[in-house]
Structure 1
Amino acid sequence: MNMHGKRWQLARKALTLAFFILVPVLLFSLLKNLDWQEVRHALVAYRWQTLALAVLVSACSFALFSCFDLIGRRYTGHSLPARQVLPLAFVCYAFNLNLSAWVGAIALRYRLYSRLGLPVATITRILSLGLVTNWLGYFILAGALFVCGLPRLPAGLEIGSNGLRLIGVLLLVLAAAYLLACRFARRRTWQLRGHEISLPSLKMAALQAVMGACNWALMAWVVYSLLPDKVGYPTILAVLLISSIAGVITHIPAGLGVLETVFLTLLQGSFSKGTLLAALIGYRAVYFLLPLMVAGLVYLVLERLASQRTRGARSGSTG
């Protein structure tokens, strides 16, 4: 084994140890900060049909997001089957939402993919393409809504409606620049710190845009389904997009408090505080906590299967 291989092996062992220490600590912190009595009261107040619709839309969103890694499979050309890729991506997304991108999107994805035999360079390309897919969809939706003057901002906010429209224009320009580069760029591959970065085809980039935008739209539909029909869906979508970027900027796991603050500030004239909080608590329970519980079980299964494959490979090599 060469020096690079030994370093990667040591890094994997250190990452595994850190991961098994960090994840339980973050999970405990997340669950400890939740008011479970409040969650129960909020959910009991809804009709079961409303909650069933929210769960169904959430499931569609997670299924769609998991398919981002199938685009990554096509982009990188690796041969892992969809039955291995999809549950892995689902687990990473659920942990990402609740415990931050560093745990879910990065550490967990590197761990699980490497245990399936993918090299670091391939995992990095899958991760990068997924991030671009997510934010390309965000730029297109947010840009279009902001340019149209949504959401209507309360008086006194420093950015103002004109500032929000300018941000919308910038987002649309960036999204268009990516799509045009995928179509017309002559140089399509770069080296960055030893990693190869390649532009996808325009067809793949268009698929990224559609899937990314649809996932954000489904997330907003969950919130919309839990609120009374007083405000149009585009407004709810625009507010969710603003709250999501605020959560990313503050680096708070699951955006605790950020989501509620943005919704209360921007929709205070349309809904009562109690109605908004009940809907957002329901959204957290259905879109964050429920998938996290399922993902925790799926993760344990994936780890067990990976351990079995490792033991089988070792016994095969010594037999």
Structure 2
Amino acid sequence: MTTKRLARLGPYFGILLFAVALTVLHHELKIYHLHEILEAIRNIPSHRFGVSVILTLASYLIMTGYDKLALLYVKRALSYENIALASFVGYAFSNNIGLAMLAGGSVRFRLYSAWDLSALEITKVVGFCALSLWLGFFMLGGMVFTIEPMVIPEAFHLTFGSTRFLGFIFFFVVGVYLWMTLIRKGPIKFRAWELSLPSPKLVVSQIIISSLDWILAGSVLYFLLPNLSDLTLFKFLCYYLLAQLAGMATQLPGGIGVFESVMISLLSPKIPVPQLFGSLLAYRGIYYIGPLLLASLMLGARELFQKIETIKSAAQSFGSKVSAIVPPVLSLSAFIGGGILLFSGTIPAVHWRMLWLKDFLPLPVVEISHFLGSLVGTTLLLLSRSIQRRVDAAYHLTVYLLGAGILFSLLKGFDYEEALILSGMLLAFIPCRSYFYRKGSLFSDRFRPGWIAAIILVLMCSVWLGFFRISIWNIQMICGGNLRFTAMPRVL
């Protein structure tokens, strides 16, 4: 089988792994009610949410150190403002999208190329950042896996029973890399390729910055969990890094599904599953989705700044890179907006909002809004590919659909949080009309395997949530439980 065919099969392999993860999650969650999970999220103290948001900001701030060190490695100087923009936008997208779709490397390439870095220099920067991330992971993982070893459950079917073995391997990898930088003075040559190793001082900086980044990322989730006297942060990092390793190995966007299933398998004996899953959902929203939305809005705001005459000269230098980035960013925003509408269609509305809403709207309007909101979400998923291709009709239709999605979010259960997110996406779209100039059919081009896989993943999540709601409702019917209108599963 050729390499090209193997690359095409990659996204479908990700779908298979995601299906396995959903099966594990369904097995762990099938005896719990969705209301318990949502109640667990609401019961997280507000100050813990605040600490997690601050730690997320600190983590993304630390990530700028990767790009700073990488530019030192290639001997190029840029302002910290530009470095921070490339780092934040790059990691916000790569953390959520994974390598099978648009990756942070492509965002960096477009930004850094506008700042006069050559293709070879940008490749070195991207590779250096990736290496830095793994060096810190191996160093921190080596420490926690050997000092606080954990017995690996038999369900994982690994050949070793303790994380200490992994810790020794991680230390060995870091040690070999350090040893090479100490003894190797000249570049490493492989055919036409030539690679210079960084100095030992730069390597130590890589390890320190990356290790601190991983500690901050793990702390975001740690502070969202219930208080446990026997679960210290250092011990928790053992569970966290093992789950992250499993998620990164699958190359799924953010390790979604796999990370959660591993964390539940490891921590369910210590923490009730509804509380644990609620904390995981809050973590994904704070550390992954929040920065991604912010990165998208930042680029939309840059577009508005270009229209101000007083900064016109500065905007012109930024225009070339924005024109390359805006369509992919808005494409991802449309895709996420579609996913939000689909998922919200399977999650029960807040009870008091439904009681308040029924005084203003008849029940058929609420129900039809559920259906139309899901229909808008599905259409946005399909349109996101045409948005990436800059199709004029796709832009106009997406703007209208986002407006409709805002309306349906309010009508189906007064989901004002969802309406605000969609409003932010709509505001990012409005000033970018000039970038969508291609005429043609909305679906004239074939969907690539990566897009097909992404759409299937979202639909699988939506269907799984629907079955989860229906299965709990059936259990209540069998047990003779009291049912309320707001506990019924919504129509997809």
With structure 2 as the length reference, what TM-score do the two structures score?
0.52
Structure 2 Cα separation of the partners of residues 289 and 311 of structure 1: 26
Q: CA deviation at 1:192?
A: 5.0
The one of the two structures with greater contact order (alpha-carbon pairs below 8 A, sep at least 6) is: 1
Equivalent in the alignment of 2:75: 77
Match of 2:199 among 185, 201, 204: 201
- The AA in structure 1 aligned to 2:238 is A
- Residue 236 of structure 2 is aligned to residue 236 of structure 1: yes
- The AA in structure 2 aligned to 1:238 is C
Equivalent in the alignment of 2:316: 308
Equivalent in the alignment of 2:282: 282
Structure 2 Cα separation of the partners of residues 184 and 208 of structure 1: 18
List aligned pairs for 1:86-165, cutoff 5 A: 86-101=84-99, 103-155=102-154, 157-159=156-158, 162=161, 164-165=163-164
Contact 1:42 1:282 in 2 (8 A): no
Equivalent in the alignment of 1:293: 293
Equivalent in the alignment of 1:3: none
Secondary structure of 1:151 counterpart: coil
Count of equivalent residues:
277
Equivalent in the alignment of 1:225: 223
Contact 2:151 2:162 in 1 (8 A): no
Q: CA deviation at 1:170?
A: 1.2
- Per the alignment, do residues 52 and 178 of structure 1 end up closer, same or farther by CA in structure 2, a change over 3 Å counting? same
- The AA in structure 2 aligned to 1:207 is S
Secondary structure of 2:151 counterpart: coil
Q: CA deviation at 1:250?
A: 1.4
Structure 2 Cα separation of the partners of residues 71 and 64 of structure 1: 11
- Per the alignment, do residues 114 and 301 of structure 1 end up closer, same or farther by CA in structure 2, a change over 3 Å counting? farther
- Per the alignment, do residues 42 and 295 of structure 1 end up closer, same or farther by CA in structure 2, a change over 3 Å counting? farther
- Per the alignment, do residues 42 and 252 of structure 1 end up closer, same or farther by CA in structure 2, a change over 3 Å counting? farther
- Per the alignment, do residues 310 and 294 of structure 1 end up closer, same or farther by CA in structure 2, a change over 3 Å counting? closer
Percent identity (aligned): 27
Q: Deviations over 1:102-137 (max 9, x none)?
A: 523221111121122211011011111111111001
Q: Deviations over 1:192-225 (max 9, x none)?
A: 5755421111111001011111111111101110
Q: CA deviation at 1:150?
A: 2.8
Contact 1:57 1:221 in 2 (8 A): yes
Q: Which runs of 5+ in 1 are unaligned?
A: 1-36, 313-319
Equivalent in the alignment of 2:175: 176
Task: Detail structure 1 runs of 4+ shifted over 4 Å in the superposition.
Answer: 37-43, 160-163, 191-195, 301-307
Equivalent in the alignment of 1:264: 264
Secondary structure of 1:67 counterpart: helix
Q: Deviations over 1:243-264 (max 9, x none)?
A: 1121122121122211110011
Equivalent in the alignment of 1:166: 165
Structure 1 Cα separation of the partners of residues 290 and 319 of structure 2: 32
Q: CA deviation at 1:43?
A: 4.4
Structure 1 Cα separation of the partners of residues 145 and 94 of structure 2: 26
- Per the alignment, do residues 38 and 87 of structure 1 end up closer, same or farther by CA in structure 2, a change over 3 Å counting? farther
Q: CA deviation at 1:307?
A: 6.7
Equivalent in the alignment of 2:61: 63
Q: CA deviation at 1:154?
A: 3.1
Structure 2 Cα separation of the partners of residues 264 and 250 of structure 1: 17
Structure 1 Cα separation of the partners of residues 318 and 131 of structure 2: 32
Q: CA deviation at 1:186?
A: 3.3
Secondary structure of 2:157 counterpart: coil
Contact 1:143 1:169 in 2 (8 A): yes
- Residue 60 of structure 2 is aligned to residue 52 of structure 1: no
Q: CA deviation at 1:38?
A: 9.7
Contact 1:151 1:266 in 2 (8 A): no
Equivalent in the alignment of 1:33: none
Q: Deviations over 1:253-282 (max 9, x none)?
A: 122211110011111210010111011011
Structure 2 Cα separation of the partners of residues 300 and 195 of structure 1: 39
Secondary structure of 1:271 counterpart: coil
Equivalent in the alignment of 2:32: none
- The AA in structure 2 aligned to 1:130 is C
Structure 2 Cα separation of the partners of residues 302 and 194 of structure 1: 40
Structure 2 Cα separation of the partners of residues 82 and 123 of structure 1: 17
